């Protein structure tokens, strides 16, 4: 006998606890929502144009919608049953999905950037301050004359640290809702940390960023590029995580092409951190990057 008459109270408690846990999982992960209910674009065997270079791109691999990049504390989210197919461009190797191409800003907020998202990235809240301190240190000699725009979540966290550090001007705008904020004029430096991989149309955002960059000027940005052994790792590579919002993953070639379309060069400090520019201000002493 399992939950028999001898222990009805205890059984009820267990069931209530179980139900509570299930409800919590539903709240956090959006269980029971199928692909069509979520408004995801259905996959197709037909090729579609690479979002960076327009080359015909076939399906490459698939992961569950609830797969995050990391599993804090080892906790694995329940599978959603909703497949997210990615494509890989045969020319520039860009890895991307069109599943979210019909989503609006509020759908990303509801299903990806919700309370469950923050739980998967507990260190995320400290990241803007850390990035701001890097920028503040690198550009310290020039800060009193610099305008900086943080093109990212729209959160003022990074910009406020720069202002507190004595930068002439620093402000933020939202990459997923660029029309909400309308920064005026050009900026000596535009920062864009861990943003491009989250955008369904990153090429459009590169074009938007460039509208804000002074000449001379630069874009300091981060997005992790595909590793050398990606063909071996395939979709098992940790960075392929739709639950973490990673839906547009660049190769080094794709990054170069995305900026080159606008006459920009991009130089990588490491696989995740890069600087893009047409002409760098001579005073910054980074002219070696232009050679
Ligand atoms: Zn391509």
How do the domains of the chain map onto residue ranges?
A: 29-120, 125-224+252-290
- Dihedral sign of CA atoms 19, 20, 23, 28 in order: negative
Q: What are phi and psi of 150, to 5 degrees?
A: -100, 105
> Distance, CA 86 to ligand 1 centroid (Å)?
13
C-alpha–C-alpha distance, residues 122 and 230, integer Å = 27
> Distance, CA 55 to ligand 1 centroid (Å)?
5
What's the predicted TM-score (pTM) here? 0.87
pLDDT at 35: 84
- In terms of Cβ atoms closer than 10 Å to its own Cβ (0-12, 13-18, 19+), residue 154 is middle
C-alpha–C-alpha distance, residues 247 and 98, integer Å = 8
- Domain 125-224+252-290 fold: Rossmann fold (3.40.50)
- Dihedral sign of CA atoms 276, 282, 285, 287 in order: positive
Give the pLDDT of the chain (291 residues) as one tens digit per residue. Answer: 333 333 333 333 334 444 445 445 454 544 456 888 899 999 999 999 999 999 999 999 999 999 999 888 888 888 999 999 999 999 999 999 999 999 999 999 999 999 889 888 888 888 889 999 999 999 999 999 999 999 998 889 999 999 999 999 999 999 887 666 679 999 999 999 999 999 999 999 999 999 999 999 999 999 999 999 999 999 999 999 999 999 999 999 999 999 999 999 999 999 999 999 999 999 998 877 877
> Distance, CA 151 to ligand 1 centroid (Å)?
24
Closest CA to 96 of 38, 52, 37, 152: 52
pLDDT at 150: 96
pLDDT at 3: 34
> Distance, CA 47 to ligand 1 centroid (Å)?
12
> Distance, CA 149 to ligand 1 centroid (Å)?
28
What are the tokens at 60?
């490459």
Q: What torsion, rounded to 10 degrees, do the Cα atoms 41, 47, 49, 50 define? A: 90
Reduced to 3 states, what is the DSSP secondary structure of residue 246?
coil
Peptide bond into 179 cis (omega under 30): no
> Distance, CA 250 to ligand 1 centroid (Å)?
9
> Distance, CA 27 to ligand 1 centroid (Å)?
37
pLDDT at 5: 33
């Amino acid at each position: 006998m399992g939950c028999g008459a001898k222990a009805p109270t205890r059984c009820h408690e267990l069931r209530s606890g179980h139900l509570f846990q299930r409800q919590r999982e539903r709240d956090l992960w959006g269980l029971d929502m199928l692909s069509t209910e979520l408004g995801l674009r259905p996959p197709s065997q037909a090729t579609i144009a690479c979002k960076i270079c327009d080359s015909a791109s076939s399906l490459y691999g698939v992961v569950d919608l609830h797969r995050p990049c990391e599993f804090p504390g080892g906790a694995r989210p329940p599978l959603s049953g909703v497949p997210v197919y990615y494509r890989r461009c045969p020319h520039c190797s860009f890895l991307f999905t069109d599943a979210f191409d019909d989503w609006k800003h509020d759908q990303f907020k509801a299903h990806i950037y919700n309370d469950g998202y923050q739980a998967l990235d507990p260190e995320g809240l400290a990241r803007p301050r850390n990035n701001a301190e890097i920028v503040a240190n690198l550009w310290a000699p020039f800060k009193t004359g610099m305008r900086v725009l943080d093109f990212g979540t729209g959160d003022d966290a990074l910009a406020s640290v720069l202002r507190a550090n004595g930068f002439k001007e620093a402000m933020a705008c939202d990459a997923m809702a660029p029309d909400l904020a309308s920064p005026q004029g050009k900026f000596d430096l535009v920062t864009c940390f861990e943003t491009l991989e989250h955008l369904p149309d990153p090429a459009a955002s590169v074009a938007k960023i460039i509208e804000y960059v002074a000449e001379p000027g630069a874009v300091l940005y981060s997005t992790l590029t595909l590793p050398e052994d990606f063909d071996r790792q395939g979709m098992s590579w940790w960075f392929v995580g739709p639950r973490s919002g990673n839906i547009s993953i660049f190769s080094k070639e794709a990054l170069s092409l995305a900026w080159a379309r606008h006459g920009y060069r991009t130089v990588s400090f490491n696989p995740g951190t890069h600087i893009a520019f047409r002409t760098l201000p001579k005073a910054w002493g980074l002219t070696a990057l232009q050679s």
